[in-house]
Amino acid sequence: MICQCANPRCGREFRYLHEGHIFVLEPELPFTWHEGQTSIDHYEVRRYWLCDDCARRMTLRRQSDGSVRLMPRPVGDTLRVKAA
Ligand SMILES: [Zn+2]
């Protein structure tokens, strides 16, 4: 459950889906779920939220070690916002 902005220097409280930007990131490695003789590789999806102010300047990227890193938004990478 998302509670606050993923930027630790911000901490703005998550309230509405239409504010900011939600990132849906899967872990690099799955965990295996065993049920009887069946094994299923399962990817646990994680959701992160950046508030409007942080999402304009930053983005989140999955790193090769599986961690999530807050990074500056690349030049020319504009945030796509849905029209109301
Ligand atoms: Zn923020």
CA of 35 to the centre of ligand 1 (A): 40
pLDDT band at 30 (very low <50, low <70, confident <90, very high): low
CA of 12 to the centre of ligand 1 (A): 5
**Number of domains forming the structure of the chain:** 1
The secondary structure element, H or E, covering residue 55 is: helix 52-57
What is this structure's pTM? 0.71
Residue of 81 and 59 predicted with greater confidence:
59
**CA triplet 78, 80, 19: central angle to 5 degrees?**
110
- Cα(79) to ligand 1 centroid in Å equals 15
Q: Give me ligand 1 centre to Cα 64, in Å.
A: 24
- What does the block give as tokens for 74? 């690349």
For residue 30, how far is its CA from the centre of ligand 1 (angstroms)?
29
Query: Domain of 59?
Result: 1-84
Backbone angles phi, psi at 62, to 5 degrees: -75, 130
Please give the share of the chain, as a percent, with pLDDT higher than 90.
40
What DSSP character marks residue 52? H
